[in-house]
Amino acid sequence: MDLLPEYLTTSELVADTSLWHSTDSESTEWEVTDLIWGFIRALQPEVVLETGSAFGQTTRAIARALQENGHGFLHSVDFTPDRVETVNASLVDAGLDRFAHVHLHDALTWEPPEGTVFGFVFLDSDLKTRYQEFHHYRRWMRPYTVVGMHDMDAYFEPMGGGRSRVLPLIAEGQLDAFFLPTPRGVCFGVVR
């Protein structure tokens, strides 16, 4: 079965990329962050994982969704000390530190507290490690845990990202996923 008969770049799929907005070239599009917020509100997860907090836009949105839900906690993992410090401070300033914390750690070695089960996972750290991150955190996921991955556009293939990192997970039967044509590309799926 040919899962993706054509692998088009976002510019071939999205007629007007100016409809999306982003803080900078590294951050998730605000509109995708809104979608993630919606997933958290709709799915009501108890524990959320994010890898790659960057400047905290999506981190704070997830924490706000958990706050609105009235329960849950986000573990975000980032290896950049100044970003971790800044994002954690912004969580405190916004009164969201009860719902989220950014851990200064490598995403491929950090482990959550014992007994953790992730209800939602958003992998957005180093392009080259997302496949490995999925496998690393798989033992804390259950069937139907929702997983999102950013930077799925063909543009990211030469840098080690893109769909080629997700297709093996689909082929192995570990993830049912779909790709959305946003400027940087994003996919969402459920663990099998």
Task: Note the pLDDT tens digit of each residue in 114-144.
Answer: 999 999 999 999 888 989 999 999 999 999 9
CA torsion 113→119→125→126, rounded to 10°? 90
C-alpha–C-alpha distance, residues 175 and 163, integer Å: 13
pLDDT at 5: 41
Per-position DSSP letters for 83-111, written without gaps between them: HHHHHHHHHHHTT-TTTEEEEES-TTT--
What span, in angstroms and rounded, lies between the C-alpha atoms of 31 and 127? 20
Q: Write down the pTM of the prediction.
A: 0.92
CATH top class, domain 22-106+117-159:
alpha beta
83-103 pLDDT per residue, tens: 999 999 999 999 999 999 999
Is the separation of the CB atoms in 117 and 46 below 8 Å?
Answer: yes
SS3 (DSSP) at 24: coil
